[in-house]
Amino acid sequence: MLLPQEFIRKKRDRQPLAADEIAAFMRGVADGSVTDSQISAFAMAVYFNDLSVAERVALTHAQRDSGRVLDWRALDLDGPVIDKHSTGGVGDLTSLLLGPMVAACGGYVPMISGRGLGHTGGTLDKLNAIPGYDTAPDTARFQRVVREVGVAIIGQTDELAPADRRIYAVRDITATVESIAMITASILSKKLAAGLQGLVMDVKTGSGAFMPTFEASAELAQSIVDVGNGASMKTVALITDMDQPLAPCAGNALEIACAIDYLAGRARPARLHEVTMALSAQMLIVGGLSPDESTARASLQAALDSGAAAQCFARMVAALGGPADLLDAPGRHLAEAPVRIAVPAPVSGTVERIDCRALGIAVVGLGGGRTRPQDPIDYAVGLSDIAPLGQHVEAGEPLCVVHARSAEAAARAAAEAVDAYVVGEGAAALPPTLHRFVQ
């Protein structure tokens, strides 16, 4: 029997950890016999001394096995169980789109998503803007909706990867969140616990990304691909741009409305469409539903054009307790902020730079995100009509529109939004939307 302190000592002293040692330590994390201070010491040892790929695979498996692992075999699904995960950003609502799109193409998408973190928006917060939508159904209902609709987007349950949840809580208060090894295990343990056969990872880079540099984003993408495949789950990654909001809006109800417009064909913003199609196509390829990207894109476009993807979204919402007529009458159900003000450009010129993180922080300040875990969310607030990089604006024309609960809050957010923009006389150097494919 290896004592927890001896296990920690081995990693502190840069000695390799065996898979059975990692598994024993994770069992102790799950049953409480390993203390928070021991978790903290282990996390700090990993932060400084890292884990090999084999150790990362073992840690991922051990965190997965600390709770329930969903089994889809008894449901006799006629397609692959696949998913996508993003490191998060501003205006990133691709999950709301690609889940129904892939389901309409024959995939099954049991998507377990998170809430907003810092300046980044969370898929669960967006879905909670839909009245009645249940983001925490029991496992039987979750699996039933996936089987019948093809997609269900919910939050992490207490049954899935409980060791990861405890470790993350400790990492969050001990300055060890940034460990690539532990980020990898945290993400993949939950995906493996969901019983996935394939995963497409969306790693953001840029001013609104979680990772501070492109090099760090690339390192995380490669780690997730190596460990996911090492854990027998087909995994690929895309590194996508977050130097500006992905959609022309940021805020929970606003993004749900944008998703409905996209699926209904009323508006498909170019960058949002490009990233959504790229991720969705890789999901179809990873799941064996399409042989190549061009075939996958054709299938996805057909699912959009026929209305099949929109119908999948509508059925998912209704099956999880939301209104059956959400797509037909979103204005009847989605909250709207009482105060709206346009944010005028201070000078004429071209949008040369956007501090994407600052725009996300402005949304949090309006009440659209949390500064503390227990904070309530105001689903109506946010930013819309966000001017993208490269757009020419005349002085006084809007850079964006603030949706706020009060005039005072709107004025604060407007000032933050102006400060987030650099408008100049030159031509903006536009970053690529898709930076790199990792496999």
Catalytic residues: 83-86, 123, 171, 186, 190-191
Tokens of 140: 């039987």
- Which whole-number Å values give the CA distances from 392 to 246, 388, 396, 422, 426, in the listed order? 18, 9, 12, 12, 10
Exposure b/e, 149-186, CB count within 10 A at least 16 = b: bbbbbbbbbeebbbbbbbbbebbeebebbebbbbbbbb
Nearest alpha carbon to residue 116 among 133, 130, 131, 128: 128
Structural contact between residues 339 and 381, judged by C-beta atoms closer than 8 angstroms: no
- Asked whether the beta carbons of 362 and 383 are under 8 A apart, the reply is yes
Provide the pairing of β-strand 234-241 with 198-205: parallel
> Residue 341 has what DSSP assignment?
E
Q: How are strands ordered across the β-sheet holding 392-393? A: 392-393, 349-354, 421-424
Contacts of 424 by beta carbon, 8 Å cutoff, 6+ apart: 349, 350, 352
Dist CA 21 CA 230 (whole Å): 18
Q: How far apart are CA 277 and CA 17, in angstroms?
A: 40
Q: Rounded to the nearest 5°, which phi and psi values hold at 65?
A: -80, 0
Strands (E), 218-327: 234-241
CA distance 361 to 345: 19
Residue 57 and residue 172 in contact, taking contact as beta carbons nearer than 8 Å: no
- Residue 70 CA to residue 345 CA, distance in Å, equals 51
User: In whole angstroms, how far apart are CA 377 and each of 246, 366, 414?
Assistant: 21, 9, 19
> What token pair was written down for 43?
């996390």
Give the dihedral sign, CA 433/264/368/175. Answer: negative
Residues written for the chain: 439
